[in-house]
Amino acid sequence: MFGLTREGRAIQACSDRKSVLSEGTEAGREDGKGELGMTELALYGGPKAKSTPFGEGKRFGEEELAQLREALDQNTLFYWSGRKVKQLCAEFAALHEVPYCVAVSSGTAAIHVALASLGVGVGDEVITSPITDWGTIIGILYQGAVPVFADVDPNTYNLDPSSVVAKITSRTKIIIAVHLAGNPCDMDAIMEIAKGKGIRVIEDCAQSYLAEYKGRKVGTFGDFGCFSLNDFKHISTGDGGLVITRDSELARLAALYADKYYHRSGSGRDPEWLAPNYRMTELQGAVGIAQVKKLPGICQRRHELGDRITQGISGLPGIQPHRITADSRATYWFYMLRVNEQELGTRRHHFCEALRAEGIPCSEGYIPRPVYCYDVLTKAQVLHGAGFPISAGFHAAVPAYGEGLCPVAEEVLATAVRLPVSEFFTDRDVDEMVAAIRKVASYFASRRAAAVKERGA
């Protein structure tokens, strides 16, 4: 079952894997069509479920060019002197119905700015998800704080509130809620936990533009909402990030921290505190204005297509659709299902191999392993031995990072299959994707059922 630990999966698999799981042997190829009445897999020479290219489109066009021309006509590309970054921030804040937005150089910078503005420093602990991009963690370490990883829900892949509670100590200062793949976290539970313990909340919305939890957009629940504008997100300025908040003082601090702590409207170059240069240029701001105008349509289309996949693959043997948090609206940066190898009748890598042969791009999992297994944490590695923040002697105890820390997260990554979602996909593209998944899953499950029946006889 999906909740098994790694050891449980191994024990279960050893009992009957050789006789049940298909690995594409010659015997497996022979019984595909005639004996079971199934359409032969493309992997074994059958027709592809999808033989036509996926829909494509241009992300950037005349709208972006018009904004770029205006930016160049200003005769300045500096954010404080020009109008484009200011306009981008105003429009993005209005879209989220919050008063403040600060532009930065990346989504990683957005998280770092939020952490610094909330006063995170040496000795503090920050609880977050082990299934996320490394950019979520970088700012924690640069502040000399300790990343603490809570486990995830096995169905939504987002933070499990009960695990968050178990990880809280007297040093806990922040919870970073990662809305993975466009799926909102359980924000009622997270905010209740945080409020009860006096903990601040940052929302990592890098993958979740315009996703909604109970009718409210993600990024508007915590103290900060942080977004990425890199080239692989819903919208892009090549690189860049945005930070939103309802708090005027936090907005002021965020703006200072993103710009060397220079008071552009006041004392100028006399910074009180050390801060990096995370500024956005006017060229990025210009592209961002045009992109934000397209954002509602992009997110609506991704929402429709992701839900269409779920509807099409629900009820398949050995396939668990990507479950969306209750009362939420997902905007699917990607779609991630899970496979139960025993019920499916084949191993995940072979399922993916068969799916790709049908013309459907996919990958095994999202990241290869939880971020707490990365060498930078397990070996406390920093470039050229410059020193590692959490081993600098300021912390009472450094967590034992490594395999086994969050068993559910590890199980999710070991059984997940990632599928692309694009606003340029047609309904036919997704229907053929669904047909391919159904074809492959049904093929292997039917072969498994036949093998079990034969063994029982």
Residues with catalytic annotation? 233
Alpha-helix runs per DSSP H in 215-361: 248-257, 282-313, 341-344, 348-357
Counting Cα atoms < 13 Å in the Cβ hemisphere of 81 gives 10
Neighbours of 331 (CB within 10 A): 27
Q: Is 177 helix (H, G, I), strand (E, B) or coil?
A: strand
Q: Is 359 helix (H, G, I), strand (E, B) or coil?
A: coil
Cβ–Cβ < 8 Å for 96, 243: no
Place of tokens 């395999």: 403
Considering only CA atoms, which of 398, 422, 324, 409 is closest in space to residue 366? 409
Q: Alpha-carbon distance 83 to 103, whole Å?
A: 13
Considering only CA atoms, which of 241, 283, 216, 281 is closest in space to residue 133? 241
Which 8-state DSSP code applies to residue 259?
B
Considering only CA atoms, which of 170, 174, 110 is closest in space to residue 145? 174
Cβ–Cβ < 8 Å for 56, 425: no
